[in-house]
């Protein structure tokens, strides 16, 4: 409510404080939201490292949006060592949990190494039979869609 000013005066500081209270109690959505606050320097000092730590806690609980957020951190090497393989693994987990972000992501936004790692993971699951070229195209997207739950 504080983050968006719904029923109260908008306050990033109070939003971050309440997210932290819930995150410390293990609330996965709050952990992810606190990570977002750290990335965007909203109510807290900007910290890629702390954002990644909170995303990890949330992702470890299976929160699908945190899978994506942490994947981006690994893809970009922000707060964690760059790892295309780990980014792709997290994107696959997010897809399996129903987050279609990777399917809808603009082709130009994919890091080639991460796209290659994603194609390799899809190929190992017998979902993709195209080239491992680091270019996300229709075949890669169809393979990712196959991971989404019905």
Can you give the pLDDT at residue 150? Answer: 86
Can you give the pLDDT at residue 14? Answer: 96
pLDDT surpasses 90 at 18: yes
Q: What does pTM read for this prediction?
A: 0.93
The Cβ of residue 68 has, within 10 Å, a number of other Cβ atoms equal to 24
Counting Cα atoms < 13 Å in the Cβ hemisphere of 70 gives: 28
Task: Label residues 118-137 b or e (16+ Cβ within 10 Å = b).
Answer: bbebbbeeebbeeeeebebe
Can you give the pLDDT at residue 127? Answer: 98
Can you give the pLDDT at residue 32? Answer: 98
Per-residue pLDDT tens digits for 107-147 = 999 999 999 999 999 999 999 999 999 999 999 999 999 99
Greatest Cα-to-Cα distance within the chain, rounded to the nearest angstrom: 53
Portion of the chain with pLDDT greater than 90, in percent: 99
Can you give the pLDDT at residue 61? Answer: 97
Length of the chain: 150
Portion of the chain with pLDDT greater than 70, in percent: 100
Q: What is the mean pLDDT of residues 38-44?
A: 97
**CA–CA distance from 96 to each of 63, 82, 146 (Å)?**
11, 23, 9
pLDDT surpasses 90 at 56: yes
Q: What is the mean pLDDT of residues 82-89?
A: 98
d(CA 58, CA 47): 17
């Amino acid at each position: 409510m504080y983050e968006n000013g719904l029923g109260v005066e908008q306050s990033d500081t109070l939003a971050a404080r309440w997210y932290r209270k819930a995150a410390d109690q293990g609330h996965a959505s709050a952990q992810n939201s606190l990570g977002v606050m750290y990335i965007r320097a909203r109510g807290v000092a900007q910290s890629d490292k702390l954002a990644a730590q909170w995303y990890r806690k949330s992702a470890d609980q299976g929160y699908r949006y945190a899978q994506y957020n942490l994947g981006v951190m690994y893809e970009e090497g922000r707060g964690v060592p760059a790892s295309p393989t780990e980014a792709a693994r997290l994107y696959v987990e997010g897809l399996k949990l129903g987050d279609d972000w990777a399917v809808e992501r603009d082709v130009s936004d994919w890091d080639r190494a991460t796209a290659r790692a994603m194609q390799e993971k899809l190929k190992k699951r017998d979902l993709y039979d195209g080239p491992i070229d680091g270019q996300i195209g229709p075949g890669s997207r169809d393979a990712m869609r196959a991971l989404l739950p019905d």
